[in-house]
Amino acid sequence: MALLEIDQLSVAFDTEGDTVTVVDRVGFDVEAGETLGIVGESGCGKSVTALTIMGLLPKPSGRVQGGDIRFRGESLPNLPPERMRDIRGNRIAMIFQEPMTALNPVHRIGRQLAETYALHQADLPDEAVYRRTLGLLEQVGIPAPEQRLREYPHQLSGGMRQRVMIAIALASKPDILIADEPTTALDVTIQAQILELLRELQRETGMAIIFITHDLGVIAELCSRVVVMYAGRVAEQAPIEQLFAHPVHPYTRGLLASIPRLEDEPKTMLTTIPGVVPSIEELPSGCRFANRCPYVKDLCNRDAPELLAASQGHQVACHRWREVDAVALEKWGS
Amino acid sequence: MSTGSNEPLLRVRGLTKHFPVRSGIFLRTTGHVHAVDDVSFDLDIGETVGLVGESGCGKSTVGKTLLRLHEPTAGQVVFEGRDITTMGRKALRQLRRDIQIILQDPFESLNARHTVGKILEEPFVIHRLGTPQERRRWAAELLERVGLSPAAASRFPHEFSGGQRQRIGIARAIALRPKLIVCDEAVSALDVSIQSQIINLLLDLQREMHLALIFIAHDLAVVKHVSDRIAVMYLGEVVETATAHDIYASPRHPYTQALISAIPLPDPTADRDRVVLVGDVPSPIHPPSGCRFHTRCRHARDDCRQRKPELDSLRDGASVACHYWRGLS
């Protein structure tokens, strides 16, 4: 049994007189201690999936429509709120893109860190809480931690704020850390520091990380496995080397080909994926990538492809991946 | 950055912009943000110069200051032989036909209640060009040129996705057939699959219209892809310039080296020595003495804390501002 199992999960939002399914039968497992990447473009459902795992869907508009989320075998969507609160925070923690929105601007850093202990370990004496918060700030590489504990969030840089958020998330020694675009708002040299920190912390604590991002570079650097999402569905999932060396879904192929790369010759035309993602109100009944896919056939417009095994540990949701793969092999010889 | 002996399209010399910091109840000026300090470069017809660096390095301020959207504190900006920094209001308005700017979200600055058609006709109205019928036709042609349906003219900005909005922003920017466009993080907010479409559109338009571009972005891979030459900025100053190819192949300044090595590569088999810069970018209100990068530079010596390195021109046309770059690579 995997640590976390996402099983045919569907999430719907009620809009004015309508229900839209933004996450559609998504499935993947997270093993203890691994780093799983979820990659996709805006609106692909990656963040909604994360919020659903955390039980943080906006109510009453958002709800789990079908499927299940199991943590150590325990089904999360129907847990009583107290039990879910215990899991969220103690067992599964989350960090976000903009820590400023998650930190309280009028409280000192020290108080916000101590609060997590008050919530989850109320019997801890003050002196012990202080020592632990200090230790946490040291652990996440914040210089002069005694001074930082007395400061307010706005006095810290973006990178330091994200370190504080990570410290808060680590306070309860979670089994899983969900990181939703935690470095997207940061400069690239600061991003490198935070990625390094996450790697180190994982080595120390053995926690699993679900890393959500639009950046395939970050995925390649940090993750051991990756789930590619498109328009609310899983398009492909594979071990990291496999996905980059041999992607089989036409969307993944297109995505990898359209990234500007440092080794490219300047001012050459990039490969593109034509068109745009279908809007959530007008999702096609067949494959959701069909309107942009160079290999589309009638079947693709008619039936949604199931996520099926392509090889060991590698799954793809495409009717035509075998044919496409054969053509690509012939064409590129790789 | 011009190659011939002719006057370049744009010549920037010693461009400086300091913003006053006011505090206290009388809002007295208590310091200055050194946003841009002594920036110089040339730009030829049809050429792209990329400005790259992290937040607070001054790259966007350079773009806005040379359009006089900010008043420069010092320096010269000469466009086709005329100094922009001393131009009167009327000359400036004429200049805006020749120099345009594209922002990250072009609709932040536009009236959301106007149709796309009206937005695209506006530049012609302001400059009193064409009849209403002609303007409508031109707007439709512009939409087609950037890959949108002419039917888009009757719709409103909020009905479009980010990529489509940026196409509309580009259509508006090229309406008066400018000679230079400043692209300020123009593709930064777009998803990868859309970003590549917009980059190709810009490359295409540049070739067709002989446009010069100043391409400002924090993503070095993107900047490298569209630029002929690149200037790397740190804390308001240019620390290195080189061709787009050379800046990646053989970066000279330790900051450029660190910047490149920090970029995550979409290749899990990539094996490289990473230079992780420690600490944060210092405050531009009190920039460090000597070389501004010395607080984060692993090669810094005593000298670097006191003596400011000049941007030295090298034989290959590149330049670098570091006392010790020769001993580094």
Choose, out of B59, B192, B239, B293, the residue to mutate when testing the contact with A (most A CBs < 10 Å): B192
Same domain (yes/no): A235, A292: yes
- What is the reported pLDDT for B124? 96
| CB nearest to B264's CB, from A214, A217, A276 | A217
Same domain (yes/no): A149, A289: no
B51-64 burial, b for 16+ CB within 10 Å, e for fewer? bbbbebbbbbbbbb
Average pLDDT, chain B: 92
Domain count, chain A: 2
Strand-pairing partners, residue B243, are: B229
Q: Which residue among A123, A146, A165 closes a domain? A: A165
Q: Which residue among A146, A165, A184 closes a domain? A: A165
Q: How many CA atoms lie within 13 A of B219 on its CB side?
A: 24
Q: List, as one string, the DSSP characters of B137-168.
A: HHHHHHHHHTT--GGGGGS-GGGS-HHHHHHH
- What is the reported pLDDT for B325? 95
Q: What percent of chain B has pLDDT over 70?
A: 97
Same domain (yes/no): A115, A12: no
Same domain (yes/no): A138, A278: no
Residue A115: burial class (beta carbons within 10 Å; 0-12, 13-18, 19+) = middle
Q: With a cut of 50, list the residues of chain A below it in pLDDT.
A: 333-334
pLDDT of residue B2 exceeding 70, the answer is no
Residue B272: band (very low, low, confident or very high) from pLDDT cuts 50, 70, 90: confident
Sheet containing A208-213, strands listed edge to edge, beginning at the edge strand earlier in sequence: A92-95, A176-180, A208-213, A35-39, A225-230, A233-239, A314-316, A308-311
**Tens digits of residue pLDDT in A274-300:** 998 988 888 899 999 999 999 999 999
Which CATH number does the domain housing residue A184 bear?
3.40.50.300
The answer to whether residue A138 is domain-embedded is: yes
Same domain (yes/no): A262, A139: no
Three-state SS at A38: strand
The chain A residue lying nearest B57, using CA atoms, is A187
Take residue A113 and report the two structure tokens written for it.
């860190």
| CB nearest to A187's CB, from B55, B200, B266 | B55
The answer to whether residue A99 is domain-embedded is: no
- What is the reported pLDDT for A116? 82
Same domain (yes/no): A205, A252: yes
Residue B226 to residue A160, Cβ atoms within 8 A: no
- What is the reported pLDDT for A334? 41
DSSP A175: S
Residue A81's CB is within 10 A of a number of other CB atoms, namely 8
Same domain (yes/no): A71, A52: yes
From the options 3.40.50.960, 3.40.50.720, 2.60.40.420, 3.40.50.300, give the CATH code of B10-113+156-248: 3.40.50.300
Q: List, as one string, the DSSP characters of A125-157.
A: -HHHHHHHHHHHHHHTT-SSHHHHHTS-GGGS-
Q: State CA B75 to chain mean position distance.
A: 18
Backbone angles phi and psi of B11, in degrees to 5 = -125, 120
Vertex B70 angle, CA B90 and B225, to 5°: 105
The answer to whether residue A97 is domain-embedded is: no
Task: State the complex-level ipTM.
Answer: 0.88
Same domain (yes/no): A154, A12: no
For chain B, give every domain's residue range. 10-113+156-248
The answer to whether residue A96 is domain-embedded is: no
The chain A residue lying nearest B218, using CA atoms, is A187
Same domain (yes/no): A77, A149: no
| CB nearest to B268's CB, from A244, A260, A262 | A244
* Start-to-end Cα distance in chain A: 35
Take residue A110 and report the two structure tokens written for it.
């020290």
Residue B4: band (very low, low, confident or very high) from pLDDT cuts 50, 70, 90: very low
- What is the reported pLDDT for A331? 61
pTM over 0.80: yes
| CB nearest to A262's CB, from B224, B226, B243 | B224
Query: Under 8 Å CB-to-CB from B185, ≥6 apart: which residues?
Result: B60, B103, B104, B216, B217, B218
| Domain assignment of residue A140, given as a range | 106-165
Same domain (yes/no): A301, A227: yes
Residue B196 to residue A272, Cβ atoms within 8 A: yes
Same domain (yes/no): A234, A266: yes
Same domain (yes/no): A191, A286: yes
Restricting to B residues 189-218, those with a Cβ less than 8 Å away from any Cβ of A are: 191-197, 199-200, 203, 218
**Between B30 and B211, the higher pLDDT residue:** B211
